[in-house]
Amino acid sequence: MYREWEIVKWDGEACRPTVDRIVEEFPLTVVLDGWELATLLCSPDGLEDLVTGFLAAEGVIKSFEDLKALDIDMVRQTATVQTRDGFDSGAAERLLYKPTITSGCAGGSAANIRDLAGIPPVTGEAAIAAERLIGLMAQFQKRAVTFRETGGTHAAGLVIQEEIFAFYEDIGRHNAVDKVLGCGLRRSLELSCAIVLSSGRLSSEAVLKAARMRVPIVVSKSAPTVYAVEVAVRLGVTVVGFARGRRMNIYSLPHRIKCARTRILPSMWKYNVRAD
């Protein structure tokens, strides 16, 4: 996940030689049924989970059972995927317009109205106590060892039955989310009762990934965007931001986060989710 590198460090007064730990970046080209679909710039671990989660969260496949074979070649830096009965060509063609999915914060794309059209609202009534969610976020942040060593990764976690089942760090925040979703798919977990945890800003694309996988709750220690919250309301996803310490902000469908005491009116407790 990282390498040690000799550097020169300035401490405000003088320059001195030292050794720093730098996170690795790995270009992985996904070849789907002979198509060179996209190149993911990612951290070089959990690549089977990454490819599975990426294809499913982008709507190219519907489930892990759609895959006949998945082969990772670390030397050629390729993931060769064979499907059983084809794939969603419309979703695949959208990816062809962004053939390199970068690791940077601006590397993703915003969801558009065409992306939302074929996705029914998430109806899973998963719920979790606010106190328990804050405890999970504390555990989540403690597991981010590579971030503490390098400062160069994002993290994502998949919560099943109120426990962190899967955890990944990656140079890209969306890669980390794809990895934990792929982990769940490859193990045939029921994601309609799951929660996704993230260290990064919640964009509309992250919410869209959750909705495609029928995940009802997405939580981050950072902020969401306005469009992410609008997409979440439309698709029935509960978005929680700034979940750290003893606080959190619930931006959409707050009925899934159980609070011992609440000062809001019952009429505010549930949003009207539109299916159109």
* pLDDT tens-digit series, residues 13-56: 999 999 999 999 999 999 999 988 899 999 999 999 999 999 99
Tokens of 95: 């990816």
Q: Rounded to 5 degrees, what are φ and ψ at 8?
A: -115, 125
For residue 184, give both structure tokens. Answer: 């769940």
Amino acid 262: pLDDT: 63
Q: Is the pLDDT of residue 197 over 50?
A: yes
- Which residues have a Cβ under 8 Å from the Cβ of 263 and sit 6 or more positions away? none
pLDDT band at 272 (very low <50, low <70, confident <90, very high): very low
Mean pLDDT value across residues 247-260 = 93
Single out the residue of 272, 190, 196 nearest to residue 240, CA to CA: 196
pLDDT the model gives residue 276: 37
Looking only at the bridges linking them, the beta strands covering 78-83 and 26-32 are parallel
pTM: 0.89
As its CATH architecture, domain 128-268 has: 3-Layer(aba) Sandwich (3.40)
List Cβ neighbours of 81 (8 Å cut-off, separation of 6 or more): 30, 31, 32, 33, 51, 55, 67, 69, 70, 71
User: Would you name the residues annotated as active-site residues?
Assistant: 105
Q: Residues, the chain, total?
A: 276
